[in-house]
Amino acid sequence: MSRFGDCAHLAGALQKNETKREETMLRAAVCAAALAAAAIAAAPAQAERLTVSQYGILVPTLPYAVALEKGFFREEGLAIESIIQSHGGGTSVRNMLASELPVAEMALPAAIAAFKQGIDVRIIGDDAHTIGELVWVAKKGSPVRTVADLKGKKAAFTSPRSVTEIIIKTVLKRRGLLDDTQTIAAGGIGAALTALNNGAVDAATLVDPVLTKRGGEYQIVFHAREELPDLSWAVFVTTAKYLSENEDKVRKIVRARAKAVDFIYANREETARIYAKVWNLSDADAQAILPKFYEMKHWKRGEFNMKGFATMLEGMELVGELEKGFDIKRLLDDRFQALVKEK
């Protein structure tokens, strides 16, 4: 008789033979423990969630949607079934630390801020070649047509110490216009555009998908990626403790994301369908938006770009987020760099 059949027999024995009650109860307890152990062994791995800042909003997060849709996490034996979306900054850090899986993609300033607060974060991937299709726009017919035209004008960014503030101030500094242009925190991309429409500022930030869908209503003053071609702003991070205890698991996550990046470049039509589905866009809008990201080779497998890090650090100093001379190498962990450079 199997162990489980023996358990069924024992249930009846408890009623029929009181003289052997203690012995039977002991054996029943052993059987119960065996059943519980079998149930635990048969149970699937608990579903986990990965934290990704601006997931489903910004195009740079597309590899995670592809990895989920194509099953690349499952191929690696991972139980990642969904994404914890955040709007960036400290929220991304808090979400990562509160998650059962403390691994995340977030903006570099958020990772550095966490490190400065005593959280032992480690950067294990540099996830984008450029800032993407972030632009500053002016009203149609405005005299503000180039960066030089911002002299004596007002330019909006999203929020204090954000990536958009870092970019606008770095661009203005390099053009010698930082002291001659007023920069204003609008509170968000939508709020910046409202301020522009109402005449409160002369230029404001705009990104896809709104840029492609409504960009014709404005004139582009400058593309951030053209002014700052090397900008490492989106990084893949975890904690030193989690990495030391779960190196193989983190390696699998990095590999799954790298597979997704390769898929994006090799399968444009299917990638567009995934983009449309997750971003809730029409197929036509997806097909119109993505080509420019392919042209700029936006997504990357995770290779560190030290020049790109230096540009971000320069901007962080400008906005008062970082002291001069901060050593980014204190956060970098290169154990997966050989993996992401493989093809």
Tens-place pLDDT, residues 251-282? 999 999 999 999 999 999 999 999 999 999 99
Alpha helices per DSSP H over 106-198 = 108-116, 163-174, 189-197
Element (H, E) at 218: strand 218-223
Statement: residue 14 has pLDDT above 70:
no
Within 13 A of 275's CA, how many CA atoms are on the CB side? Answer: 28
Q: Which segment of 29-33, 167-171, 177-181 scores lowest on mean pLDDT?
A: 29-33
Q: Are the C-beta atoms of residues 242 and 39 closer than 8 Å to each other?
A: no
Q: Between residues 6 and 51, which one has the greater pLDDT?
A: 51
What is the model's pLDDT at position 90? 75
What is the model's pLDDT at position 297? 92
Show Cβ contacts of residue 15 under 8 Å, excluding neighbours closer than 6 positions: none
What is the model's pLDDT at position 45? 57
Show Cβ contacts of residue 127 under 8 Å, excluding neighbours closer than 6 positions: 60, 63, 105, 234, 235, 236, 257, 299, 300, 302
Ramachandran bin of 325, using left for φ above 0, alpha for ψ from -120 to 50, beta for the remaining angles: left
* Coil, helix or strand at residue 46: coil
What is the model's pLDDT at position 303? 96
What average pLDDT score do residues 65-77 get? 98
What is the model's pLDDT at position 176? 97
Q: Between residues 231 and 3, which one has the greater pLDDT?
A: 231
Counting residues of the chain whose pLDDT is more than 70, the rounded percentage is 86
What is the model's pLDDT at position 145? 97
Q: Which segment of 81-95, 149-163, 288-302 scores lowest on mean pLDDT?
A: 81-95
What average pLDDT score do residues 95-101 get? 91
Residue 244 identity: S
81: tokens are 């079934």
Gap between the Cα atoms of 100 and 323, Å rounded:
33
pTM given for the model? 0.81
DSSP state of 131: -
Q: Which segment of 56-60, 118-122, 177-181 scores lowest on mean pLDDT?
A: 56-60
Residue 123 identity: I
Q: Which segment of 89-98, 162-171, 275-284 scores lowest on mean pLDDT?
A: 89-98
156: tokens are 């909006």
What is the model's pLDDT at position 35? 41
What average pLDDT score do residues 42-69 get? 86
Gap between the Cα atoms of 232 and 305, Å rounded:
7
331: tokens are 């956060």
Q: Are the C-beta atoms of residues 112 and 322 closer than 8 Å to each other?
A: yes
DSSP state of 342: -
Q: Between residues 214 and 15, which one has the greater pLDDT?
A: 214
Statement: residue 228 has pLDDT above 50:
yes
What is the model's pLDDT at position 326? 95
What is the model's pLDDT at position 92? 84
| Beta strand spans in 9-57 (E) | 48-53
Q: Between residues 154 and 210, which one has the greater pLDDT?
A: 154
Statement: residue 7 has pLDDT above 70:
no
Q: Between residues 242 and 230, which one has the greater pLDDT?
A: 242
What is the model's pLDDT at position 210? 82
